[in-house]
Amino acid sequence: MRRVLPLAAALLVAATPLRADEAVTVPVQGRDAFSRPLPALDPAHRAAFHAGRSLFQQVWTVGPSEVRPDLDGLGPLFNRQSCIACHAKNGRGEPPEGENDSMRSTLVRLSVPGAKTGGGPGAAPQPHPVYGDQFNPDGIPGVPGEGRATLVWSERIDRLADGTPVALRRPDLRLGNLGYGPLGPEVMISVRMAPPLVGLGLLEAVPEADLLALADPDDRDGDGVRGRVNLVWDAARGAFAIGRFGLKANQPSLRQQNAGAFDGDLGLTSTLFPQHGCTAAQTACRAAAGEDAGEDALPELSDEQLDLVTLYTRALAVPARRNADDPLVRVGEDLFAAIGCAACHTPTLRTGASPALPELAGRTIHPFTDLLLHDMGEGLADGRPDFQATGRQWRTPPLWGLGLTAAVTDRPTYLHDGRARTPLEAILWHGGEAGPAREAVRRMPSLNRKALLAFLDSL
């Protein structure tokens, strides 16, 4: 690890700023910065991109519908009626700010101790026996929703080494009006905010061998960073595979990530997830889904629709960096590497083959992630395992587009549950493997800290 240089010295040796591949980035800085297609798309894929965007924005309805039978099937239990309701402008979600504010783009994962198949590492979390694996507040007519979820915030003041105060807040989840009885003492709960969607296809195209090469679960190099892959169930392949999507890297592919969201958030079945999530205790849900009658219904989301939405999310371009040549930004980039942030937020990756979208293949990209799991300490722990991810581990989130969050989102927030309102707050919540980097930021002179934050704002 390099020592942190004083600002004046750092100005002389700052790293050369990274240059993004113009075929996969767009020079857009406004409200639509996360909504543009890859410039390299051919005409056929561009047309499919727009068709997928239409489905992504579509409000799904309760079936059967005589007007648009291809757009019905909502529920029986659901969180939202469209993808864009959580991913407005394809950006970060916004957690509720008070007890009377709804969970517009935040969901609640549920499980109990144990595992779905066989137990031990590599098995999916065991769903709650009554409420399933996700808390769904809404139901179609005749089906009671599962209850009401909201967040209550508590705040404390943290002080940096130079005395600068920083307010840190954390959420307390409140579940009320429970429609199917108490959750019980063993329930494990994780609050998850919708993440931004840019560059997902590029991340999907990074070869698995490269992720395994980045992994260092035994800390062979002695830097205190122990990134590891998550092995998760791939429904299409019928085998375990490396996870790279989801906040705990619990999904192996974009197609399965999207199918899981349609299933969990909108209640739409697909060939990957053909059964509704009604538990035995949710009799009205099971009756509405036809599960007790043994009905063999067609998937509510067709393969063609799923493929179009997947292409849309796969082909969203990354906004180009801004102010990369600014001297302050260059100093911040050097500091970012010097204090160890780049050990997890890997600046540069290379895509491999991409049969689903050849325009993504062979690209040098700068996502600032290793797509691996890291122990982030007790402060950020949710206590809920997910396949091989522990209750303290999270996947390194990509940082590209970070500086445009405020342009895309009305109330920019960060981290898995939206607790941080600024990148500095997010840094100060880092613990575990990231604890030394956090402490380096805490000790920084104010001008060096300003440079680091200017670099993050340039991404």
How confident is the model over 43-78, as pLDDT tens digits? 999 999 999 999 999 999 998 776 777 788 999 999
Q: Which pLDDT does position 97 carry in this prediction?
A: 85
- Cα-Cα-Cα-Cα dihedral of 110, 112, 114, 116, to 10°? -40
State the pLDDT confidence band at 121, using cuts at 50, 70 and 90: low
User: Mean pLDDT, to the nearest integer, of 300-324?
Assistant: 97
What's the rounded mean pLDDT across residues 126-143? 97
Assess contact for 318 and 199: CB atoms under 8 A.
Answer: yes
45-54: Cβ within 8 A, 24+ apart? 45/311, 45/315, 45/357, 45/359, 48/308, 48/311, 48/312, 49/311, 49/312, 49/315, 51/308, 51/312, 52/308, 52/309, 52/310, 52/311, 52/312, 52/313, 53/312
Whether residue 14 has pLDDT greater than 50: no
Does position 28 have pLDDT exceeding 90, yes or no? yes
Q: How many CA atoms lie within 13 A of 28 on its CB side?
A: 20
**Strand pairing partners for 169?**
155
pLDDT at 296: 57
pLDDT of residue 225: 97
Q: What is the dihedral of CA 327, 333, 334, 338, to 10 degrees?
A: 150
Encoded tokens for 59: 């409000």
- Token readout for 222 is 């002695």
* Angle (CA) 233 239 240, round 5°: 50
- Rounded to the nearest integer, the mean pLDDT of the chain is 92
Answer yes or no: are the C-beta atoms of 227 and 344 closer than 8 Å: yes
Average pLDDT over residues 434-456: 98
Position 103 scores a pLDDT of: 85
Q: Check pLDDT > 80 for residue 2.
A: no
**Is 78:267 a contact under the CB 8 Å cutoff?**
yes
The verdict on whether omega for the bond into residue 252 sits within 30 degrees of 0, i.e. cis, is no
Supply the pTM of this predicted model.
Answer: 0.93
What is the tens place of the pLDDT at every residue in 354-410? 999 999 999 999 999 999 999 999 999 999 999 999 999 999 999 999 999 999 998
pLDDT (0 to 100) of residue 145: 97
